[in-house]
Amino acid sequence: MDSINNPTNHQTQINQAGGEKLSEGDCLFCKIANQEIPAKVVFEDDQLVAIEDIEPVAPVHILLIPKSHLTSLNDITEEDIGLLGHIQLTAAAVAKQLNVAEEGYRLLCNCGPAGGQAVMHVHYHLLGGRDLGWPPG
């Protein structure tokens, strides 16, 4: 139960994914969404949960995680358009809540191992609180 608060355990679970598709029962983010693993929640509704990242790369680093399991953006269908729009609207609301909307923030979604996706469950990173620069990476 402490794995989300322990970066070593969190990284082990990510490494075990190794870019392979995990079952929903094995998915770290499904467990967080189902409240099986504790997290610092900043927003939650019936479609998604937004949590503080345990290894932030910016002063504000929030993960927006759909409660339904989608492995990557490659699995998105037209049925998911409403969810994707909801993520965008929620990200804007959370950015306002955390006082980074006016100054600016970055919202990104990594897809696949080469794209930087470490947890094989669609999720978006909301980054803010400092100059993020361009290009990333």
Catalytic annotation on 123? yes
Q: Pick from 118, 117, 110, 109: which is nearest to 16 by CA?
A: 118
Task: Please give the Cα distance from 116 to 132 (Å, whole number).
Answer: 17
Distance CA 10, CA 25 (A): 16
Q: Which residues pair with 106 in a beta bridge?
A: 127
Give the active site residue among 10, 69, 121, 123.
123
E strands of the chain, at which residues?
41-44, 48-52, 60-66, 105-108, 124-128
Active site (catalytic) residues: 123
